[in-house]
Amino acid sequence: MNLRVSFLFFLLLTLAVTTLRGAESEPVRDKFVEAQLISSHAKIAPGQTFQLGLKFTIDDTWHTYWSNPGETGKPTTLDLTLPEGFSASALKFPVPKRFVVDYSVPGVMELYEAGFGYEHSVVHVVDVTVPADAKAGESITISGKTTFLMCDPSECVPGQAELSIMIPVAAESATSPHTSVIRLYATKVPKTVDWATEVSLEGEEVVVCIDVPEGQLPADAPLHFFPDNVHIFDQLDDPEITKTDGKLNFAFQKYADLEAAPEYISGIVIAKTQTGEKGFHVSSSDAQEPKVTISEPVGESPEAAPDTSTLPFGGGLFGALLGAFLGGIILNVMPCVFPVISLKVMSFVGQAGEDRKKIFAHSAVFTLGILIFFWALAAASVIVNKVFGLESSWGFQMQFPGYVLALIFIMAIVGLSLYGIFEIGTSMTGVGGELVTKEGYAGSFWSGALAVLLATPCTAPLMAPAITFAFAQPTPVLFAIFTALGLGMAAPYFVLALFPKLLDVIPPPGAWMETFKQFMAFPMFAVVIWLIGVLSKQLNVSGLQWALVAVLLVGMAAWALGRFAGPERTKGARTKGRIIALIFFVLSIFVAVSATKKQAPYVPKNLVEKIERLRSEGKHVFVDFTAEWCATCKVNERATIKTEKVQNAFAENNIEFLIADWTNRDPEIAGILKEYGRSGVPLYLLYPADQSQKAIALPDGIVTAGMVFDAIEKVTGSQ
């Protein structure tokens, strides 16, 4: 393989990975749990409040504990040492899950214990306030000691870790790559509410009675109550839940030694919805202050079963595999893949007259490039979910500015090469040259890889439910469905390789190929322009400017390579030219990494609140779930959603039009997507004014005005 290409690609991957690093301590592992301090900001400003996260990565089968661990557990603690003038909130605990541990000895005794805690990964958030007189230009150090108990079904082991994080103080703050995960877990902390709460002892039952205002809890959602204190009721017991006179009653089997009604009660009401577990902290009027600082808002990683009704053969694994395969075929005609498809057709022209075995071999290598990069996407989604604690979805990597900028680099390099600014051989373009050589096969491989990179912003019909199904399944199933998607995407090229006569409509190789090759640079530059638009939504003005400087430096590196390291130069001149190009390219990497840290500030959308407010006012609501990087979304908007005809239909039928922008990660939008069985955008929902009815979801992929009008008719009874 061309060494220059290998080195360039390695640096591009380094850029994408580097942007995941941010303000963080060194991770410390104690037996089965790895602890780390992470910061929401890479730079902090005087007077601001930022968040620290105590992140636990927990081995399989093990768990740590909530503020009320249960009868035998121990809550996690964090003792922080702060610089003078800094202050911090108490450690916050997200909504936990209940563990039931079986300590029974067969034939001797039965013993079960219940506790509350976390498995796989969790981030405990702490709000830290910077004093107004903090000096810009200095760096502060925050140290902390955490203690925790880690348990699996057979044993419990105490753990601890001493952590330290250094953060620079600047006149202007800057978020870190950890911002999204910290904010996600902040949304999982239960919301404190003032619902009137009483507790009583009725025979052998402890009854917790909560006056819940109408509409505050989702209708028909499974409910539970976790107390702040032990020894009130049997935590192994699933309560009997009733509603009388607008009040919610939880009747638990009382704790064995409880003889009188508790003087007070406090805890969290948990509503298990398809969008996540929503927690609400309640307490009786004379309850003691809870041990934990509780803050807005709420939410939990959803475990909703995906809707596979649109998949072939009624869904299931076979339906998902077939849907992914057919979706992969259709993906070839989606707008984002067009530039690479044109290059691949050109490669078939270049192979005209070659041995059919060699043509088939190139198609096999092209397929291998597609499959390896689809497997890389599957692996990345698992890593993002398991290691970083983030929900992964189709196109999730486009929400990272570093990935978008790396893709801009690749498209700019390919475009400049096609235009003739410099030559990197057939290994990137797959066009012209001796395609049966090693570099020719490399060209087929990288063409397949590039097709996958460009395909991720698009969603084809049948593909959305298959991918959503995949993300809800174990890792082997996820890889199987991504493999089916890759095979589907490669299938048309195998057909062309098997039946080359189908390409007779294309003129034979000739001088026109060079003209066409240069012309194909313009679609690459068009993709660059589109991706810069994506960056404009992810970075602040300064970050976008520096990102463009990085692209400029890439162009200078390409120019230096073509101008001073061409084949007509002497060996010594070519070496100097390559060194100059490498300096420009390495400099562009450093500028790009700096640029991706200057992210636009996060602004909560409060989408659910807006929808419910509009519905309470008697309005229907149409929500366009979109993203700046979603090519399918943009096609739908220009061809259908934002056309005068459809917008007039909204106005005539009392329909409010809202846009839910998912260009950047947003846990609220992610929850709604999960609720409706989608792993990504686009999604179009029409909410009836009647709040007792569910929203109507339009079909996935490309939508037409007729589909919108059909949904309107279902809601209003008229077009």
pLDDT per residue as tens digits for the range 509-534: 667 777 877 887 888 888 889 889 98
Query: Are residues 614 and 685 in contact, defined by beta-carbon separation less than 8 angstroms?
Result: no
The set of residues, in sequence order, having a beta carbon less than 8 Å from that of 613 and lying 6+ positions away, is: none
Same-domain check for residues 503 and 384: yes
What are the tens digits of pLDDT across the range 460-500?
Answer: 556 666 676 666 667 788 888 889 888 988 888 778 777 76
Any domain includes 680: yes
Handedness of CA 427, 430, 434, 436 (dihedral sign): positive
Range of the domain at 199: 191-283
Same-domain check for residues 353 and 209: no
Same-domain check for residues 103 and 195: no
Q: What is the CATH number of the domain that holds 689?
A: 3.40.30.10
Any domain includes 6: no
Q: What is the CATH number of the domain that holds 268?
A: 2.60.40
Same-domain check for residues 55 and 92: yes
Share of the chain above pLDDT 70, in %: 77
Comparing CA positions, the residue from 174, 165, 161 lying closest to residue 24 is 165
Comparing CA positions, the residue from 695, 701, 676, 686 lying closest to residue 655 is 686
Same-domain check for residues 26 and 138: yes
Question: Which of 145, 179, 213 finishes a domain?
Answer: 179
Question: Which of 153, 179, 205 finishes a domain?
Answer: 179
Counted domains in the chain: 4
Residue 77: per-residue pLDDT: 92
What are the tens digits of pLDDT across the range 626-662?
Answer: 988 887 788 899 999 999 999 999 999 999 999 999 8
Query: Are residues 218 and 248 in contact, defined by beta-carbon separation less than 8 angstroms?
Result: no
Any domain includes 290: no
* DSSP 3-state percent helix, strand, coil across the chain (nearest 5): 40, 25, 35
Q: What is the CATH number of the domain that holds 39?
A: 2.60.40.680
Any domain includes 293: no
Question: Which of 125, 147, 179 finishes a domain?
Answer: 179
Beta strand 276-283 with 191-192: parallel, antiparallel or unpaired? parallel
Any domain includes 156: yes
Same-domain check for residues 244 and 363: no
Token readout for 167 is 């953060």
Query: Phi and psi at residue 635, in whole multiples of 5°?
Result: -65, -45
Residue 212: per-residue pLDDT: 86
Beta strand 97-102 with 41-43: parallel, antiparallel or unpaired? unpaired
Range of weakest confidence among 88-92, 111-115, 308-312: 308-312
Same-domain check for residues 217 and 366: no
Query: Phi and psi at residue 647, in whole multiples of 5°?
Result: -65, -35
Same-domain check for residues 144 and 225: no
Residue 550: per-residue pLDDT: 94
State if pTM tops 0.75: no
Any domain includes 665: yes
Q: Which band of pLDDT confidence, cut at 50, 70 and 90, is reported for residue 437?
A: very low
The pLDDT of 234-239, averaged and rounded, is 74
What are the tens digits of pLDDT across the range 387-396?
Answer: 554 555 666 6
Residue 321: per-residue pLDDT: 83
Any domain includes 554: no
Comparing CA positions, the residue from 655, 668, 546 lying closest to residue 598 is 546
Same-domain check for residues 662 and 708: yes
Same-domain check for residues 496 and 373: yes
Any domain includes 690: yes
The β-bridge partners of 43 are 174
> Edge-to-edge strand order for the sheet containing 121-129?
28-30, 33-39, 49-58, 121-129, 87-88
Same-domain check for residues 482 and 458: yes
Same-domain check for residues 33 and 170: yes
